[in-house]
Structure 1
Amino acid sequence: MSTPPRLPPAVTAGYEDATDGGRAARRWWDANAAEYLAEHGAALGVADFVWGPEGLREEDAELLGTPAALAGARVLEVGAGAAQCARWLRGRGVDVVASDVSGGMLEAAAELNRTTGVDLPLVRADARELPFQDTSFDVVFTSYGVLPFVPDDGAVHREVGRVLRPGGRWVFSTTHPVRWAFPDDPGPGGLTATSSYFDTRPYLERAEDGEILYAEYHRTLGQLVAGVVAAGLVVVDLTEPEWQPGRETWGGWSELRARHLPGTVIVTAERR
């Protein structure tokens, strides 16, 4: 889980029921965008497409399609953050739009557009209510965006299915569900399961008054796939990236853990 490494004294964490409908994600990323990018910006780059902490790059995996296939495609990134992935695609001539629910992240994305000179369209939007017409895109993707932070992932899959053209592709990466049974520890302590994989209560951080400050949602692999299928999409591939040479530890993800446990899952689905 991509949880903050240290909690302020007034914040408590645990696995509970959440009732904020995903609003905590918008508030958290607005409040912490600058801090997050200060800590991880160097690893993320300004125009680089990495699918997760293991370091698998789209340039090598071609999960969205070959360069020839993308040359004439219209592409949407949801949960784009500072839009490093979409900016990488734009730099290769792809017609791509980046969207995110967080104004703080989009401000950072706009600044990176200015510093890089990349003309990348940015749209503030909740991936559960996309402001685009039906069948507008050939490819929709997200790298660790949206899905971990909303309770109703089915709404995301349905909206993606709506804006995809027939034959279009939906590719998303997220924390591998197996990881939820293990502590968020990059060392040996992270190799021993301490909770149930089947416990799907979300991880929450609350202020003293009970306000939800941060929320992250767990689904089993079966539930993750079922959400895609229920939206009328067809799962065509599951990728479990291996640790790439020279990749540094990222939070609870490490080369040690990657030798024993999958840390990321990438789902590729299509609208038939």
Structure 2
Amino acid sequence: MSQDPEPEATRRDAGEAESSRANRGWWDRNADEYQQDHGGFLGDDRFVWGPEGLDEAEAALLGPAASLKGLRVLEIGAGAAQCSRWLAAQGAAPVALDLSHRQLQHALRIGGDLALVEADAGTLPFRDGVFDLACSAYGAVPFVADPVRVFREVRRVLRPGGRWVFSVTHPLRWAFPDEPGPEGLSVSASYFDRTPYVEQDEDGRAVYVEHHRTVGDRVRDVVAGGFRLVDLVEPEWPAWNGQEWGGWSPLRGNLIPGTAIFVCERDESAAA
């Protein structure tokens, strides 16, 4: 049986519709392998902000665990809803949203009394002001062409003063090869090149898209989305974590940041 050719990796423009279609398909096709490879690290009911292993139980970026009881929380790009399960265990009422039908099937497989929603982060199917908090651990934000649109949608569904916390690949990493070993420690591209990373099939159709923003871009996007930046967390690589995850590794993690976590609050002085 012949196998499909490996997609071509390139840097080129990719808009909202192409990015959404490509990434929905990629996550549907690769959800099984992703959960098999990383499910042990992520756990079934653990809230991890990134490959470094920073745990929300310790970081409390959404607030102290005891304060989450009774709060409505929207998790965007939830995957198999591991973070939402942890939130539910603290007494919160989470809603786990993802673009990928197959990822949400894994959420059903793991189980738990969770609200699961299949939808695009740029068009949230909720009324205004129905959530107290919103969060995303490497979900949605790195894959959308227009993050401000997503942030404005998040702001819309949050109550006044609501907190929005999201993690992405640290923008500095885009200047380095996506390799965990020594070859990943030398700058190979311009940090200021915002051209998306695209994997495309033999007909030139995108099958995976990831968008680069500099740190300054991310801050400006947060403000343009109607939020105030409260903190920017750059987790250090802990001594206990010996795993490699794609381009993340102890070698690189001890030298350059791999994850950026933006802690934001809805800015009531901003225009809706």
Instruction: Please report the TM-score for the alignment, with normalisation by the length of structure 1.
Output: 0.93
Counterpart pick for 1:230 among 218, 224, 235 = 224
Distance 2:78 2:104 in 1: 8
Counterpart pick for 2:8 among 6, 12, 24 = 12
Distance 2:226 2:13 in 1: 28
Measure how far apart 1:89 and its partner are. 1.2
Measure how far apart 1:8 and its partner are. 6.4
Distance 1:85 1:63 in 2: 13
1:149-179 per-position Cα deviation (integer Å, ceiling 9, x unaligned): 1111111100000011111000000000000
User: Counterpart of 2:156?
Assistant: 162
Distance 2:73 2:133 in 1: 5
Q: Is 1:178 the equivalent of 2:176?
A: no
Q: Is 1:250 the equivalent of 2:245?
A: yes
Q: Is 1:89 the equivalent of 2:87?
A: yes
Instruction: Please report the TM-score for the alignment, with normalisation by the length of structure 2.
Output: 0.93
- The one-letter code of the counterpart of 2:58 is D
Q: Which runs of 5+ in 1 are unaligned?
A: 1-6
Distance 1:74 1:205 in 2: 36
User: Counterpart of 2:256?
Assistant: 261
User: Counterpart of 1:47?
Assistant: 45
- The one-letter code of the counterpart of 1:147 is V
| CA distance 1:206–1:88, change in 2 (3 Å) | same
User: Counterpart of 1:3?
Assistant: none
Contact 1:89–1:96 under 8 Å retained in 2? yes
Measure how far apart 1:212 and its partner are. 0.6
User: Secondary structure, in 3 states, of the residue corresponding to 1:169?
Assistant: strand
Q: Which runs of 5+ in 2 are unaligned?
A: 268-272
User: Secondary structure, in 3 states, of the residue corresponding to 1:261?
Assistant: coil
Measure how far apart 1:103 and its partner are. 0.5
User: Counterpart of 2:21?
Assistant: 23
Contact 2:70–2:91 under 8 Å retained in 1? no
User: Secondary structure, in 3 states, of the residue corresponding to 1:22?
Assistant: helix
User: Counterpart of 1:100?
Assistant: 98
- The one-letter code of the counterpart of 1:167 is G
Measure how far apart 1:10 and its partner are. 4.0
Counterpart pick for 1:72 among 51, 70, 85 = 70
| Cα RMSD for the two superposed structures | 1.3
Q: Which moved more, 1:16-25 or 1:209-218?
A: 16-25
How many residues align structurally? 262
User: Counterpart of 1:201?
Assistant: 195
User: Secondary structure, in 3 states, of the residue corresponding to 2:9?
Assistant: strand
User: Secondary structure, in 3 states, of the residue corresponding to 2:195?
Assistant: coil
User: Counterpart of 1:211?
Assistant: 205
User: Secondary structure, in 3 states, of the residue corresponding to 2:97?
Assistant: strand
